[in-house]
Amino acid sequence: MATSERVKIVGVREVQASFARYERGVRKTVSKAGYMAAKIVSTDARPRFSGIDSKTATGFVPSIRGPVAKVKQRIGPTTGLRGDFGSLQMRRALLPALYAKQGEAVRVYETSLEVLQKEAGL
């Protein structure tokens, strides 16, 4: 005669609840961390470009759109006579600032996700 055995898994509901809390917080946490990381880079980019054009340098601002964090220029073109001005901003300020602050920006993401994991109980 065959006997049936039951296996009881303890803690499955708790794990599912932890994952649900984690999932809800990920989007918000990633957005906040992205903004903070972009802010670090934009703050470093401003003085790098202020010697070329201080008004343009003040226009570097952090921006979030979905999961993407970026530094954008909020000041539009004045004359449009210089076709390489966007490239100049990238070469002289934005890319060097990103390379200089990349480690710090990544740490912001890592720390935020670690806090979220602890809050979710994972």
Q: Is the pLDDT of residue 36 over 70?
A: yes
- Per-residue pLDDT reduced to its tens digit, 47-69: 999 999 999 999 999 999 877 88
The reported pLDDT for the residue numbered 17 is 78
Between 107 and 79, the higher pLDDT residue = 107
- Computed over every residue of the chain, the mean pLDDT equals 85
Asked whether residue 4 is domain-assigned, the answer is no
Asked whether residue 27 is domain-assigned, the answer is yes
Asked whether residue 54 is domain-assigned, the answer is yes
Q: Buried b / exposed e across 4-35, counting CB within 10 Å, b at 16+? A: eeeeeeeeeeeeeebeeebeebbeebbbebbe
Q: Is the pLDDT of residue 7 over 70?
A: no
Asked whether residue 46 is domain-assigned, the answer is yes
Asked whether residue 79 is domain-assigned, the answer is yes
Asked whether residue 3 is domain-assigned, the answer is no
- Per-residue pLDDT reduced to its tens digit, 65-106: 877 889 999 998 877 788 888 899 999 999 999 999 999 999
Asked whether residue 7 is domain-assigned, the answer is no
Q: CB of 63 within 8 A of CB of 71? A: yes
**Enclosing domain of residue 115:** 13-120
DSSP string spanning 26-84?
Answer: HHHHHHHHHHHHHHHHHHHHHHHHHTT-HHHHHTEEEEEETTEEEEEE-SPPSS---TT
The reported pLDDT for the residue numbered 29 is 84
How many distinct structural domains can be found in the chain?
1
The reported pLDDT for the residue numbered 73 is 93
pTM check: above 0.85 = no
Q: Is the pLDDT of residue 19 over 60?
A: yes
Asked whether residue 33 is domain-assigned, the answer is yes
